[in-house]
Structure 1
Amino acid sequence: MQGVMEIVVKTVNFIRARGLSHRQFRKLLDEMDSQYGDLLYYTEVRWLSRGAMLRRFYELKEEVFHFMEEKGKPVFHLNDPLWLCDLAFLTDITQYLNNLNSKLQGKNLLIHNLFDFICAFERKLEIWEKQLIEGNLYHFETLSKHSPPDTGVYAIEINSLRKEFENRFKDLRSNIVNFAIFSNPFSLEPIELPEHLQLELVDMQCNQDFKAKFNDVTLMDFYQKYLSSSDYPNLIKHCKMMACLFGSTYICEQLFSQMKLVKSKCRTVLTDRHLEDTLRIATTDMEQNIDHIVRHMRHQSSSMSK
């Protein structure tokens, strides 16, 4: 499959990296009344661009073939049925990986939510592997258009991907019990859990008010508002440890994006303290009551009015 990706990237770069070729290709798409107006670039930094680029290349494969042939650099693979099957499979599976990646980059997700997404995808991989062995292409819409002679080769690719997931996320898998204590403490047997949490869990599980509140408020609100650190010190500590595990770089990326907007070339004076305060306001989930702040701030009178 790596060879397929290399050919696609090389072809896209040939078309888009040269201004004249790029304009001629776009003109060809207009003349052929193509649904799409251009190919898409793929960059390693923006991983999600891989799926979008593959999808667009697949949809424009006929136009790409004619254009490259006119340029004297024909891509003969585009006439190879087996290569097109590989391209279709890569397009489908990359789209699924893109969807998973997008879920993992979401806001306000805790570590157990992210692990649930991973577990669900691994279960899907098991289903896809079994169905591909049987020749069932129901979940591979693009690949099903080509009727590949041997779907078993794609089952092997899925198996390799599943093993990679098992290895990549083995550290998370070793913390399943910790995730369960954090996300669903009322469904666990205290005797089966770490000793330092057992008595506190018993007290919490036997509190009917806690049971009612747990289903009515968010997980973090429950731990922050209803459990006191004096009565449940170990559970609070466990909660903080789970809540501070960031499953993605989304928060860091958001902060740097905000900093890029704040530190624009139009600003001539920006102290470190002012930058920190501005970023704190820009990234917080708290709503600012500007009217209240204005009413209670101390106004400075100008020297002109004295």
Structure 2
Amino acid sequence: MLGRLYELREEVAIFLDSQQKADFHDNFQSEGFQITLAYLVDIFEVLNAVNLKQQGKSINIITHHDIIRAFMAKLDLWKCRVQQGNAASFRNLDSALADSKLVSDLKAEFIRYFPDIDDKREAWKFIRNPFQCEVTDVADEVQEEFLELKFNSTAKEDFKDMDLETFWGKYLPVYPLISHQALRILTMFGSTYLCETAFSTLVAIKTKDLRCALSSIRPCIQHLVA
């Protein structure tokens, strides 16, 4: 919506003038408003992209964490560029953005939402790849089991071919302590995506078949009916 408004800003100004809305016209045409509007178009575009990346049934909290950290790193890059007079990161804003305060405020807001985001990186390191970690990266009570896993050549090959959830689920019976710690993190809800999907599906079907509709597994209707 903001993008459309920005694209049609000249037509909007003509319309406001034709409607004799002098105050609206003057405010809309002001340099400050145009700069702010251009910034909003660009920043909501990237925020929407970040939001879309975090949706889907195969996304876990570690993936969410990585996406947020990457975006916050981009904010630092954008701020640095803007301070140097380079607005290349903002397609619509171009050289009109002369102040980096807007980007700084957005970074501060993300820090408020995710205050411990850097701490999680080290705490979840062994989950992402246990074969590139040291024994000191895991808790004392699972260190011996961790070493057994790290030097298991079969497990190392499996890790290359499996996603995180499948890998840790497979080795839960073999290495229960460390696998349990990993799965506790991986099974956490990283966002409200599944909840929103459930409500959307419920509104659409309004029946007791909600779980069948939400599942990624195609149900055998004949067996269920029987």
TM-score when scaled to structure 2? 0.90
CA deviation profile, 1:253-277 (whole Å, cap 9, x unmatched):
11111111222xxxxxx6xxxx1xx
1:127 counterpart (77, 87, 98): 77
Query: Within 2, Cα distance between the matches of 1:66 and 1:128?
Result: 34
CA contact (8 A) 2:169 2:183 kept: no
CA contact (8 A) 1:77 1:84 kept: no
- Which residue of the partner structure matches residue 81 of structure 1? 31
CA contact (8 A) 2:126 2:137 kept: no
The residue identity in structure 1 corresponding to 2:165 is M
Structure index of larger Rg: 1
Structure 1 residue 136, shift from structure 2 partner:
0.7
Structure 1 residue 290, shift from structure 2 partner:
4.7
- Which residue of the partner structure matches residue 196 of structure 2? 253
1:280 counterpart (211, 215, 221): 211
Structure 1 residue 243, shift from structure 2 partner:
1.9
- 1:170 aligned counterpart, secondary structure: coil
CA contact (8 A) 2:172 2:180 kept: no
Q: Note the residue ranges of structure 2 that are not aligned, 5 or more in a row.
A: none
CA deviation profile, 1:108-150 (whole Å, cap 9, x unmatched):
1111111111111111111111110111121111111xx43x6
> Identity across aligned pairs (percent)?
31
Q: How does 1:222-237 map to 2 (within 5 A)?
A: 222-225=167-170, 227-229=171-173, 231-237=174-180
1:162 matched to 2:107: yes
Q: Note the residue ranges of structure 1 that are not aligned, 5 or more in a row.
A: 1-52, 264-269, 299-306
Structure 1 residue 166, shift from structure 2 partner:
1.9
2:52 counterpart (102, 107, 111): 102
Rate the CA distance shift 1:204–1:62 in 2: closer, same or farther, 3 A.
same
Query: Within 1, Cα distance between the matches of 2:117 and 2:217?
Result: 31
Q: Quick check: 126-135 or 81-90, which moved more?
A: 81-90
With CA pairs under 8 Å and 6+ residues apart, which has the higher RCO, 1 or 2?
2
